Amino acid sequence: MASDNEIKRIRNIGIIAHIDAGKTTLTERILYYTGKTHKIGEVHDGQATMDWMPEEQERGITITSAVTTCFWKGKEIHIIDTPGHVDFTIEVERSLRVLDGALGVFCAVGGVEPQSETVWHQADKYKVPKMAFINKMDRLGADFWRVVDELRDRLGANPLVMNIPLGAEDSFEGVFDLVKQKLIVWDDATEGREFQELDIPEEHQEYVQNAREQLLEALSELDDELMEMYLSEEEIPERKIHEVVRKACLSLEGVPVFCGSALKNKGVQPVLDAIGRYLPSPLDIPPIKGINPLTGKEEERKASVKVPLSALAFKVQMDQGRKMTFVRVYSGVMHAGEEVWNATKSKKEKIARLLRMHANKRERIKEAGAGQIVAVMGLKLAQTGDTLCDPEHPIILEAIETYQPVISVAVEPKSTQDQEKVELSLAKLAEEDPTFRVKVDEETGQTIISGMGELHLEVLTQRLLREFKVPVRVGKPQVVYRETIQKEAQVTEKFDKEIGGSRQVATVELVVKPRERGQGNLVRSELPEGALPEGYEEQIIETLKQGLESGVLQGFPMIDVEVVLKGVQFEEGLSSEIAFRAAASMALKRACQEAEPVLLEPKMLVEVITPENFMGDVIGDLNARGGKVESIEPRGNVQVIKAIVPLSRMFGYSTALRSATQGRANFTMVFSHYDPVSE
């Protein structure tokens, strides 16, 4: 069994970045240099180990976060390669929730791009220590120091530059290690497996010295002992520098920055050393907290094999029709063949097999201890965000936040006998992906699937054909609207009907109020104690919550509404739970109708990167789509236009943008907020 000493050697890290910054290419090099693979797979050939889904290989992008384990200098590194495309942002969210550290990859040409900002802030939200790797130093337009400035300005990071490039673009040759004060150059003949550490050439001494001074100055602000050494101009030992950088990284006060070119096999090994040196082991992060469902009190579990089991299911994947659940073990030990308690569902589950994953290859193991990320076969009920624990010591860990879908399409089987197969297959896909929803439209009988964007739904419908052998016809994309109210309304509603031969009576008084945009719904009760028999109040609250799921205008979910249960009249012998639920439902509907309901549409933050000479056309087109340009800023030799545009006007935008700019502009789009529908 793993001892607590071995937990110290584990690193759970995620590789996060904007689409096309080179995450998967970097991961391939890491697997090659740690001996996990024997040849390098390239994304552009569709051969990358971590992009194993056919949909990923065709598009050259990462769709699902793949998990792998490798070993480097005595450290056991679990890596999750996350997608960079905004449509798959839940994959990043759920990965960051279970990781201890993150490596942000930035393109030396593109710098800090919109999706890298999004994922960086997701990591900030979970207080994940981070390192940065500035990739593609060999590309035309690469500018290391500009990206370092952007890390500071756009991400609010404190960059601690650990190595700097020798040359850029075609003349990028290697990196200067500022701690060892050496020049590192890689050997092309061994695909970068071998490298040399050389003395710094005379002509580069000043450049390296200046950068080292900046690093030591930044570190002296974080550590008093180092500051004294620095001010008295003592020689600062390497060990001391590493110690302060690690402390800064763990306390989120600094971000160690490295550079290289993953595609050209340069700069990867220093990053591997740094993962082991600076990023946290499960012992370095605060113990996980959760709620004991029996007492309702908060408890914590520290990363140790000696305490009761607690683990979080963070991803479900269908594997040849069988369900595989990825879990992060936070405390205790999980054994193959034993029963665990699913505290979220309050049910026992059996672990049939435990697997250590390497992308889609796997190795069976007998047990998994604190700090490990493994896949479990045999869990029937577990879903994303469920807690698995020791039946004797139950605990519920904080669940994973999911996002609301913004776009939907109707799907139907090509032949009627496939209807049941389509329903089953969609249910399996929905179990895997919390941002994917399936519902049947009661009026038309159509099956409607909703997701985060056009690419998201396209990938899912392709998987229906490829994995489940179910061809479907897909309708035109539709926007998922929301509803809300604009003023306060108070109503009293009495239900008085005969049901099944007996009279049922109940009166409910409630108030609805609009909330600030983005605050979500709140349903609460102000009833005095004992106003209703036990269990009635919970039932009414539950009914009101369900009532907000379909609005009064067009049946879309309502958002940002507060509902307060003010009063009830209970009549002995006549009032029942059913009557109260009916009265609550009627009261909510009438209150919302009186509170000036309004239809909301999703507004997207669109960022277009375009050569200057097409700027007028791009802005004109965005205005024509009802967009509002927020800012225009130069970045190198291109212009970056940011605008807020209604999603309903963005279908087919990529084709329009390509034809308006001779294919030279590109754009990214992320959900921004809901606003009343523009006429």
pLDDT digits (tens, 9 = 90+) for 340-392: 999 988 899 999 989 887 655 678 889 998 888 888 988 888 888 889 999 89
Record the tokens describing residue 298, joined without a space.
């908060």
pLDDT band at 201 (very low <50, low <70, confident <90, very high): very high
Q: Which residues contact 309 (CB under 8 A, 6 or more apart)?
A: 329, 331, 332, 333, 334, 340, 388, 389, 390, 393
If one compares 163 and 92, the residue with the highest pLDDT of the two is 163
With a cut of 50, say whether residue 64 has pLDDT above it: no
- Give the list of residues 6+ apart from residue 555 with CB closer than 8 angstroms, or none: none
In eight-state DSSP terms, residue 169 is G
Higher pLDDT residue, 553 or 320?
553
CA distances from 379 to 15, 312, 337, 401 (A): 28, 13, 11, 21
Cβ 2 vs Cβ 306: under 8 Å: no
Q: Tell me how far apart the alpha carbons of residues 38 and 457 are, in angstroms, rounded to a whole number.
A: 35
* pLDDT tens-digit series, residues 38-53: 565 554 444 444 443 4
Q: Give the model's pLDDT for residue 57.
A: 46
Q: Distance from CA of residue 433 to its chain's centroid?
A: 12
How many CA atoms lie less than 13 Å away from 43 in the CB half-sphere?
Answer: 22
The arithmetic mean of pLDDT across residues 545-574, rounded, is 91
The per-residue pLDDT for range 619-648, each reduced to its tens digit, is 999 999 999 999 998 876 678 899 999 988
CA-to-CA distance for 493 and 198, rounded, in angstroms? 83
d(CA 147, CA 164): 12
CA–CA distance, 78 with 400 (Å, rounded to integer): 20
pLDDT band at 60; cut points 50, 70, 90: very low
Mean pLDDT of 553-569: 92
Our separate counts of H helices and E strands in the chain read 16, 38
- DSSP E strands: which ranges in 208-304? 255-259, 288-291, 298-301
C-alpha 485/C-alpha 560 separation (Å) is 8
Average pLDDT over residues 229-250: 92
Q: Name, in order, each residue with C-beta under 8 angstroms of 355's C-beta and a sequence gap of 6 or more.
A: 324, 362, 363, 364, 365, 374, 375, 376, 377
Percent of the chain clearing pLDDT 70 (strictly above): 89
Tell me, what's the pLDDT at 407?
78
For Cα atoms 22, 25, 26, give the angle at the middle one, nearest 5 degrees.
85
Compute the mean pLDDT over every residue in the chain, rounded to the nearest whole number. 85
Position 444 confidence tier, pLDDT thresholds 50, 70, 90 = low
Higher-pLDDT residue of 8 and 358 is: 8
pLDDT band at residue 268 using 50, 70 and 90 as cut-offs = very high
Token pair of 150 as six digits: 């952007």
Tokens of 494: 């009495």
Residue found by looking up tokens 């949909």 in the block: 55
Tens of pLDDT, residues 226-236: 999 999 888 89
Cβ contact 372:326 at 8 Å: no
Q: What is the mean pLDDT of residues 578-595?
A: 95
Residues with Cβ within 8 Å of residue 442, at least 6 apart in sequence: none
User: For residue 48, what pLDDT is reported?
Assistant: 47
What the block records as the tokens of 182 is 């050496």
- CA–CA gap between residue 593 and residue 489 (Å, rounded): 9
- Residues in CB range of 280: below 8 A, 6 or more apart: 11, 100, 101, 129, 250
Among the ranges given (253-267, 364-378, 399-413), the one the predictor scored with the smallest mean pLDDT: 399-413
